[in-house]
A and B are shown apart, each in its own frame.
Chain A
Amino acid sequence: MRVIDVAEVTEKIRDMSIESNYNVDPDFLARIESAKSSERSPLGLNILNQISENAALASADRVPYCQDTGLSIVFADVGQDIHLTGGSLESAINEGVRQGYRDGYLRGSVVNDPLRRENTKDNTPAVIHYRLVPGDRLVLYFAAKGTGSENMSMARMLKPSDGREGILRTVVDHVFESGGNPCPPILLGIGLGGSIEKAAQISKWSLFRPLGRPSPDPLVAELEQDILNAVNRTGVGPMGMGGDTTCVAVHIETYPCHIGALPICINVECHAHRHAEVEL
């Protein structure tokens, strides 16, 4: 049995929280770069240029790309043959967040309770999803999730009869109504199937996929492409001020569901796409 000291977890989470906030996903930035040649709106193009310039500055100066340094989201894939020592995994993850947000001059954006709303000052606690997997490895996925985009996320229980068309319409209408709020250009993470919480969880998980990699299921991959094209025909554009570049990629994750249900959750991600992973 492999033994892992959770102090290692703390260190990795600390480093990932800092690095991801200074250096957002380069694949996202590359998509913005290539969108510039087809963006018809002069203002939209100006915005895309400001976004690129911001990314370069944040990396060079080692400062946060966005002032909203996010809610810390962690997926922990825990191999069932591992023995964790040195304390609780949950405390170790939160300690990593605490150190990262302090040492990286990141903003504490978490309140202790949805009603009392006192800032915890160190961005803890993280939202943690544990998954027990075969083997003796521990894989940690970290994301700093901005709330302007998170607030534009939604879950809905569609009817099976709504089908593919209903899904497409729901997503496109939703992106249109969200306008500039999620800071377009966006990435759409969609969870389809399961139950209401399963759809939400896999929609978040889909954001960790390498940007723009199609679903291995050709039927799903085709839907991803169709949604992407339709969303980019809405005219919402950069920051919702009009243009062709609204969304850079659509990731759909699916799960089997009940005969009477078609749950969908749309998790909206902004261009401050901050995620990292590490294997222990």
Chain B
Amino acid sequence: MPPILAIEKLSKSFPAVRAGDDVRALSDIDLFIEEGEIFGIIGKSGAGKSTLVRCINFLERPTSGEIVFNGVCLSSLSKAELYHTRQSMGMIFQQFNLLAQRNALRNICFPLEVAGWDRQKARQRASELLELVGMSDKAGAYPAQLSGGQRQRVAIARAIAANPRILLCDEATSALDPETTHSILALLKDINARYGITIIVITHEMPVIEQIATRLAVLDEGRIVEAGRTSEVFAAPQSEAARRMLVRPQHEDGLIAAAARRYFESQGMALEEVIRDYAQ
């Protein structure tokens, strides 16, 4: 079976803010996402994760390379065709991005209105989805009246309302506490199992990947430095970036060491050097 999504030789540069070199956010990304899988992409802040998801649905136009979704090159599409294609690509966000002036039910109706559904059918479908995400009792609530976890549930319902083939999640749980994160990931897993929607999860949190992804890629400074089955990469990370992102420190000392390493690296020093200096 051909992959539902192929990312081929994708690069993205942003024009330099001031005089200088362009910011190269992504370099030569090659990824193939299979239909029905949950694919994780992990990377630290600034690695290019958001840029990558935004390239997948062409919110950002790649500088070079190609996105092939369901056999169609997105760059070959006209604007109208692109808008239509996006209806088969749901997306959820760290900040939920619900319409503040619409209640939960009408938020879910939004993509259906965009897709030209009739009002009554859209409401019907929206109610079903509210039920699916366990929010039936909040149909009339406005986003400001909902907790973060509840907002993300509504956002998920909205993202899958128009029956997309793929769901893109950009740091969808990063604004939530661990418990809520867990329940949102369980919901995503459930949706994946029930409807076979392919899910791409982008995060900087290792536990998220661990809980949900069947395969993963590690993004570092705009490049994929490692990819494979989650269990295998976790068991034996090959790259330095993967080790940094994925290995869970076993005890407090490990945590402290990891924190120190991260800190000194951000200062441009290696932990080993600092320790050597300290020992002298």
User: Do the two shown chains form a genuine complex with each other?
Assistant: no
Q: Contact residues of A with B, CB < 8 Å? A: none
